[in-house]
A and B are shown apart, each in its own frame.
Chain A
Amino acid sequence: MENIQNFQLLWFFLIAFLFLGYALLDGFDLGIGILLPFVGKSKEEKDILINSIGPVWDGNEVWLVTGTGALFAAFPHAYATALSGFYPAMLLVLFALIFRAVSMEFRAHDEGRAWLWEKALLAGSGLATLLFGVALGNVIYGVPLDYKMEFTGSIFTLLRPVPLLFGVVALAAILMQGASYAVLKTEDELQLRCRRALGIILWVNMATAAVYFVVMAFIFPSLLSNALFYVAILLSMLGLAEILFSLRNENDQALFWKSSLFFLGLWIAATAAHFPNLIKSVDAPHLSITIYNGSTTLYTLQVMSVIALTGMPIVISYTIFVYRIFKGKVQARHY
């Protein structure tokens, strides 16, 4: 394992894993943030929905912090190019995440303006989700880069149709994470409404996923000879079918895992298409930032591997412990 390429490979997958963890976990927080005004009718129902994510969203967001930190440590050029190149978009991501975070706390204490903070939660969650999708779409589809690895496009580069499609696919998938988690945590009429929302979102995802896989195969013809691509499609279809069955049988226990399975399929397809690129150069493949030309040194990758491979199992263990504390249906009051 002295070979640096092994570690570059390892870190590509570890970062993909960290961002996947972020998408699945904070995904349901963001999804519920968007769904809140549509499925929660009374103040009490909205309280229940927010309390379902209240104790855990903070920890979930750390997956993003960790993924970004890991990107900085393992592939600083990808980190530097994407964040400085996509400056206006990243700025919006930050503002969206700020409002998403504070709006729940402000709403709890500032009852008179609860409506305002619910709007901020909706806008923050929705915008963050959409922009994460667009950003990912850009690095996968490719952006113009110069020989110094700097981004040479503009804001309009970022808003091309393919990256926008990624944004829409992400939004639909994250809504499904939120709706399935909401069904798990709610009861009675509110649950019924969440289940109905999930039913609609399910069909939307069937459409967006179909377009997504077709477009991916079209942009990356090599995927057609890659077994992973078919595994990905299979997993996504399985996830959707399972959700459909669960909804029919009113079995909500494993809904969240099924939705996550669907997302995993999307993620595997994206990862398979992207590897070994980190940021693809759209018109000159040799200018792409890859895991081979964008990484830190072997020693840094080794240090990071020790930290991540011992640290993350511990993190995951206590995260499960805390989720178990808050398992079950949620009540309106907590303080």
Chain B
Amino acid sequence: MDALILARLQFAFTVGFHFLFPAMTLGTSLVILFSETLYLVKKEVVYRKITDFLARLLGLIFVVGTATGITMEFSFGMNWSGYSRVVGDIFGPILAAEAVIAFFLEAVFIGVLIFGRNKVSPRVYWLSALLVFVGGHLSAFWILAANSWMQTPAGYEITATGKIVLSSFSQALLNPSTVIRFFHTVMASWMTCAIMIAGIAGYYVRKGLHGETAKMMLKIGIILFAVTPLVQLSLGHLHAIQVIETQPEKAAAMEGLFETTKGAPLYLAGYVDQQNEKTYGIYIPRMLSFLYNFNSNSEIKGLREFPKDNWPPVNLVFQAYHVMVGVGMLAIFMGLLGLFLLIKNKLFETNKYLYVLPFLIPLPHIAHETGWIAAEVGRQPWIIYKLMKTADGASVVVSANQLVFSLIMFFLIYSLLFAMFAYLFFKIVKNGPEE
């Protein structure tokens, strides 16, 4: 295999693995802030137990996230030095600012959250929970701004020598896709945590473990589980409109649309034959156009509008996107079902529902991973949309042999990390909150 494919595989694998952890961190910091606020106000010990339990999980999640996050910061230089030389002016400061403004805050105060319960006053502890929450979300903002700049670059100029230089930091930062992609990703993370907490607490309640603490956790989890997928539906909708407008090739690939169409259909599931430029599957006529601007006759651009060598791998983008949407729909249904049971006061007794809950924990991970694949593969063949090809971004001096070795090593080490993480996650869950 050639070095470019290997470098891309390595980046996809390492970032895909890393993404699992921040996706759990953000939502968990939200619930910790929520329960710690209630503890500060109501002084009821049940909230403190929830915080402490989640802080223990967060400690484990955060450490694997940090460990695998450094890989990402190094990888731009290690594997994508061509890219790094060109974008240092814009991508560099965004990454550096992330560390100064956000990651420091999160990493310093997470120490207090995990080790400081008996060392600080409840107010300072609450403040630490707030700062971990703020730091984590700011961090997500900067990282997504950097990634969004690759999708919809702005605030730059091209010099006579072909270098990309920064012309407006605020425009680069708040490029056309940053804000919506930030909210879409944060909501995915909150959803991930909602289902994780509901799943864990559902298991406790069904087994009759941890009494009131488990029931309160389940309540919080289910309410978040009902709300977040619905909010995500509207955020996803807004994001899709943004993609149709600013990256039409990607939107067309997501929907498997080859011909520019007035009244374009929406595929629920299917298969794209890129060779013969045909899409098969179940679809709702005119629905895509309708969703775009509530006009079922509006025009959506198809892939044929664009040169063929600038098409992404269409079927992969189509499938990834549809899996994400499918999981999202399932989440909406399951979340609302939980809320319905909660309102009817039947949640704690409906064993079938509680039994299913823990099995839903991986689902949001599948959604955010496939969503991310759709976003990144959908941008191909560009590393920076319409500015630089991925092939021009790779390191010149790193050979295919080196990449084979590093990819195997990453695979082995990350497999070990994952196995240990899963084992200890279950162990912490089994030990549960303090009685």
Q: Does B62 contact A (CB under 8 A)?
A: yes
Interfacial residues of chain B within 384-435, with CB under 8 A of chain A in the complex? 395-398, 402, 406, 409, 413, 417, 420, 423-424, 427-428
* Cβ distance A21 to chain B, nearest Cβ, rounded Å: 11
Collect the chain B residues with CB atoms within 8 Å of residue A65's CB: 69-70, 73, 99, 103
Name the residue of chain B whose CB is nearest to the CB of A335: B56
* Cβ distance B28 to chain A, nearest Cβ, rounded Å: 15
Collect the chain A residues with CB atoms within 8 Å of residue B74's CB: 68, 83, 90, 93-94
- Would A79 and B60 count as touching, CB distance under 8 A? no
- A315's partner among B69, B85, B100, B110 (CB-CB below 8 A) is B100
Measured between alpha carbons, how far is A241 from B274 in the docked complex, in Å?
73
- Would B108 and A322 count as touching, CB distance under 8 A? yes
Task: Pick the interface stretch among A38-46, A209-217, A232-240, A297-305.
Answer: A297-305
Interfacial residues of chain B within 104-136, with CB under 8 A of chain A in the complex? 104-105, 107-112, 114-116, 119-120, 124
Measured between alpha carbons, how far is A70 from B85 in the docked complex, in Å?
14
* Cβ distance B287 to chain A, nearest Cβ, rounded Å: 44
Task: Pick the interface stretch among A101-109, A195-203, A271-279.
Answer: A101-109
Asked if A87 meets B84 with Cβ closer than 8 Å, knowing A326-B115, A326-B116, the reply is no
Q: Does B208 contact A (CB under 8 A)?
A: no
- A303's partner among B67, B166, B417 (CB-CB below 8 A) is B166
* Cβ distance A277 to chain B, nearest Cβ, rounded Å: 18
- Would A66 and B398 count as touching, CB distance under 8 A? no
Name the residue of chain A whose CB is nearest to the CB of B92: A73
- A66's partner among B92, B99, B111 (CB-CB below 8 A) is B99
- B67's partner among A81, A82, A101, A152 (CB-CB below 8 A) is A101
Q: Does B81 contact A (CB under 8 A)?
A: yes
Q: Does A228 contact B (CB under 8 A)?
A: no
- Would B116 and A76 count as touching, CB distance under 8 A? no
Collect the chain A residues with CB atoms within 8 Å of residue B89's CB: 76, 296-297, 300
- Would B77 and A84 count as touching, CB distance under 8 A? yes
Asked if A73 meets B96 with Cβ closer than 8 Å, knowing A79-B77, A335-B56, the reply is yes
Q: Does A95 contact B (CB under 8 A)?
A: yes
Name the residue of chain A whose CB is nearest to the CB of B96: A69
Asked if A58 meets B99 with Cβ closer than 8 Å, knowing A83-B78, A88-B402, A322-B109, the reply is no
Measured between alpha carbons, how far is A59 from B124 in the docked complex, in Å?
18
* Cβ distance B138 to chain A, nearest Cβ, rounded Å: 11
Name the residue of chain A whose CB is nearest to the CB of B94: A73
- A304's partner among B62, B93, B115 (CB-CB below 8 A) is B93
Q: Does B285 contact A (CB under 8 A)?
A: no
Binary contact track A314-327/B, C-beta < 8 Å → 1, others 0 = 01001100100110
Name the residue of chain A whose CB is nearest to the CB of B427: A109
- Would B402 and A307 count as touching, CB distance under 8 A? no
Name the residue of chain B whose CB is nearest to the CB of A117: B420
Number of B positions contacting A (CB below 8 A):
69
- Would B107 and A59 count as touching, CB distance under 8 A? yes
Chain A contact patch, size range: 35 or more
Q: Does B97 contact A (CB under 8 A)?
A: yes
- Would B111 and A55 count as touching, CB distance under 8 A? yes
Collect the chain A residues with CB atoms within 8 Å of residue B76's CB: 72, 79, 83
* Cβ distance A8 to chain B, nearest Cβ, rounded Å: 13
- The secondary-structure label for the interface of chain A is helix
Q: Does B223 contact A (CB under 8 A)?
A: no
- Would A105 and B59 count as touching, CB distance under 8 A? yes
Q: Does B95 contact A (CB under 8 A)?
A: yes
- Would B424 and A109 count as touching, CB distance under 8 A? yes
Interfacial residues of chain A within 172-204, with CB under 8 A of chain B in the complex? none
- Would B70 and A97 count as touching, CB distance under 8 A? yes
Q: Does B45 contact A (CB under 8 A)?
A: no
Collect the chain B residues with CB atoms within 8 Å of residue A80's CB: 77, 81-82, 84-85, 88, 395
Q: Does A85 contact B (CB under 8 A)?
A: yes
Q: Does B5 contact A (CB under 8 A)?
A: no
- Would A69 and B427 count as touching, CB distance under 8 A? no
- Would A74 and B166 count as touching, CB distance under 8 A? no
* Cβ distance B171 to chain A, nearest Cβ, rounded Å: 12
- Would A84 and B395 count as touching, CB distance under 8 A? yes
* Cβ distance B273 to chain A, nearest Cβ, rounded Å: 39
Asked if A62 meets B78 with Cβ closer than 8 Å, knowing A76-B85, A95-B413, the reply is no
Asked if A307 meets B101 with Cβ closer than 8 Å, knowing A97-B70, A98-B71, A300-B92, the reply is yes
- B71's partner among A64, A72, A94 (CB-CB below 8 A) is A94
Q: Does A250 contact B (CB under 8 A)?
A: no
Collect the chain B residues with CB atoms within 8 Å of residue A106's CB: 420, 424
Collect the chain A residues with CB atoms within 8 Å of residue B114's CB: 54-55
Measured between alpha carbons, how far is A188 from B167 in the docked complex, in Å?
60
* Cβ distance B156 to chain A, nearest Cβ, rounded Å: 11
Collect the chain B residues with CB atoms within 8 Å of residue A79's CB: 76-77, 84, 88, 92
Name the residue of chain B whose CB is nearest to the CB of A316: B104
* Cβ distance B103 to chain A, nearest Cβ, rounded Å: 5
Name the residue of chain A whose CB is nearest to the CB of B88: A76
Collect the chain A residues with CB atoms within 8 Å of residue B179's CB: none
- Would B112 and A102 count as touching, CB distance under 8 A? no
Measured between alpha carbons, how far is A104 from B420 in the docked complex, in Å?
13
- Would B84 and A72 count as touching, CB distance under 8 A? yes
Measured between alpha carbons, how far is A83 from B7 in the docked complex, in Å?
14
Collect the chain A residues with CB atoms within 8 Å of residue B68's CB: 98
* Cβ distance A241 to chain B, nearest Cβ, rounded Å: 33
- Would A77 and B85 count as touching, CB distance under 8 A? yes
Measured between alpha carbons, how far is A279 from B98 in the docked complex, in Å?
25
Measured between alpha carbons, how far is A315 from B105 in the docked complex, in Å?
7
Collect the chain B residues with CB atoms within 8 Å of residue A66's CB: 96, 99-100, 103-104
- Would B96 and A91 count as touching, CB distance under 8 A? no
Q: Does A286 contact B (CB under 8 A)?
A: no
Collect the chain B residues with CB atoms within 8 Å of residue A322's CB: 108-109, 111-112
Q: Does B147 contact A (CB under 8 A)?
A: no
Q: A72-B84, A311-B100 are in contact. List 15 more A-B contacts (CB 8 A).
A: A56-B111, A62-B108, A65-B70, A68-B73, A69-B97, A72-B96, A73-B93, A73-B96, A75-B88, A77-B88, A87-B402, A91-B409, A109-B424, A150-B396, A326-B116
Binding site for A on B (CB under 8 A): 56, 59-60, 62-64, 66-71, 73-74, 76-79, 81-82, 84-85, 87-93, 95-101, 103-105, 107-112, 114-116, 119-120, 124, 165-167, 169, 395-398, 402, 406, 409, 413, 417, 420, 423-424, 427-428
Give 30 pairs: A residue, B residue, CB < 8 Å, sorted on A: A54-B111, A54-B114, A55-B112, A56-B108, A56-B111, A58-B108, A62-B104, A62-B108, A66-B100, A68-B77, A72-B96, A76-B85, A76-B89, A77-B85, A77-B88, A79-B92, A85-B397, A87-B398, A87-B406, A97-B67, A98-B67, A101-B66, A110-B424, A296-B88, A296-B89, A296-B93, A307-B97, A315-B104, A322-B112, A325-B119
